[in-house]
Amino acid sequence: MQRIANVINGRVEPSKSARSAPVFNPATGEQSGELGLSTAAEIDEAVQAAKAAAPAWGAMPPLKRARFMFKFKALLEERADDLARAISSEHGKTHDDALGEVARGIEVVEFACGIPQLLKGEFSRNVGPEIDSYSDRQPLGVCAGITPFNFPAMVPMWMYPMAIACGNTFVLKPSERDPSASMLAYELFKEAGFPDGVLNIVHGDKEAVDAILDHPDIKAVSFVGSTPIAHYVYTRGTNAGKRVQALGGAKNHMIVMPDADMDKAADALMGAGYGSAGERCMAISVAVPVGEETADKLVETLAPRVRALKVGPATDPEAEMGPLVTKQHMDKVLGYIDKGVEEGADLVVDGRGLKLQGYENGYFVGGSLFDRVTPEMTIYKEEIFGPVLSVVRADSYDYAVDLINKHEYGNGTAIFTRDGDTARTFADQIEVGMVGVNVPIPVPVAYHSFGGWKRSLFGDHSIYGPEGVRFYTRLKTVTTRWPAGIAHGAVYTFPSMH
C-alpha cells in the first residue's frame, strides 16, 4: 500500500504524526494508500522552509522565475497522461475528464510564464517640480493553499504557480482524499529545477488547516471548497491578519428560453450536470425552462439521455461518468435524492441502486433527473455535488432571473437562447460572477480570472489571471527627487505639484 509523504524543503518523507487517513479507489471501494495527518509542528517546519527560501526567490529577476515555469509547463504536458491516471485512481473521474482537468491547470502555468510583463509597474515623470513617481508590485512572502478533492491537480495549479511566479514561496495542503496528483506534479516541479523550499506540500485535516490559518509567517491563504468551510477559512484567516481568497459552493442555474435549440440545450445540460459525476463547483444543477411547453420539451429530450449515461470506472474507455469520491459522499447524494422524493419532486430518472458487475463495492450513483422542483425544496436550496439535475419550471423570463438572483450562491450561470437582446440583458442584470451565453460551463480562460459573487466567494480577489497577480503581490509606490532639484528651506504644507 502506498504511503503518501510530505515535501518539506525538498525532502520527501512521511509525516511523523500518530494520526493517519486512508485513501481509496472509488471505483472498487478498496484502500489504495495512506497518508499521515500532519501536526502543527510539521506545518511550522514547512513554513520555516518557505520563509528561508523567500528572500532569494523573491529577489530573483522575474524573467528567470519565468524560465523555471516554462520548464515546469513542458514537463506537465509531457506527463499529462500520468497525471490524469493519478487523478482518476483516487477521484474516480474518467480519463478524458481528468486530462481536461490537467489541461486547464497547465493553462494557468502558461499564464504564469508571462510574469515579467504582468509585474510591470507604472511610471509618471514630473508629478511635481522635478519629482517622479513609479509603482511596483512586490511579493508577499510565504503563501499557502488549501485545495478540494474535486480537482486535485487543476486547483492547486490555479494557486502555487501564480504565487511562485510572483516571487512568493508556497505551502500547499491538498485534499486528503486524492493527494497523489499533487505529489506527482511536485516531482515535475523539482525536475524543472526550482530551489528547495519554494514549494512545500503537507497533508492533513482540520488540525493542519487551523495551523495554516493561525501561522504568523503565512501572509496569504487561498482556499477552494464548500461555503461553510470557505467562510470559516476567511474569518479565521483574516482575523489572524492574513490576506484570504476563499471560494465556496454553488447552485448554478441554466435558463432555457423557448427559442433555444432543444437538442443543443439538452446536450449542454448533460455535460454540465453529469460530467465528473456533478462534482464541480461550476456544474449546472438547476435547469430553468421558460414556459410549460419549453419545460415539457426539455424533460422529454433530457430523460432518455440521462437513462443512457454510460457509468463506469475510469479504466473503461466508454465511460461517460465515474463514481463519487467516497462512500460518505455517495450516501450524502443518495440522501438528497430520497429527500427530493419525500418533498414531492417528480423523479423522472432514478440513479439509486446502480451496481456494476465487478465493481459492486464502488461508489457509483446513476444520473438522476428531477422535474417540478420548487424553490422551497432542499434539493433546490442546497448544493448536492452529485449527478442530480433539477428542473424548475418558470412561467416567464423575469421569474427565472429573479429565481437566480435570490439564491444565496452566485458562482456561475448560463442562458440558452437565439435572441441577442435577451442574452445581453441577462449578462448585464444577473447577479452571478461567471456567465455563459449558449456556453454551459463558463469557466474563464487563464488570462481572465475565476470567481463568483455572494456566498460563492469570500474576499476581494478572484483566483488566477490578473486578479491572481494582484492577490499574490502588494503595491508599492515610490516618489523621487534628486539633490540637484531640491530647493533650500523646509516646506510645511502638504506636498503637491504646485
Which residues are known catalytic residues?
Answer: 281
Parallel/antiparallel/unpaired status of strands 473-480 and 131-139? antiparallel
Torsion (CA) 271, 272, 278, 284 in degrees, nearest 10: -150
Tell me the CA distances in angstroms from 345 to 309, 328, 334, 365, 367, one per residue in order: 22, 24, 15, 19, 16
Q: Please list, in sequence order, all residues whose beta carbon lies within 8 angstroms of the beta carbon of residue 239, skipping any fewer than 6 positions away.
A: none
Cα(176)–Cα(182) distance, rounded to whole angstroms? 11
Burial classification of residue 187, based on how many CB atoms lie within 10 Å of its CB (0-12 exposed, 13-18 middle, 19 or more buried): middle
Q: Which three cell numbers stand for residue 258?
A: 423557448
Which grid cell is 438?
A: 449558449
DSSP state letters, 300-365: HHHHHHHHT--B--TT-TT-SB---S-HHHHHHHHHHHHHHHHTT-EEEE--TT---TT-TTS---
The length of the chain in residues reads 498
Q: Where are the alpha helices (DSSP H) in 352-408?
A: 378-381, 397-406
Q: Are 450 and 441 in contact (CB under 8 A)?
A: no
How many Å apart are CA 157 and CA 143, to the nearest integer? 14
Q: Which amino acid is at 243?
A: R
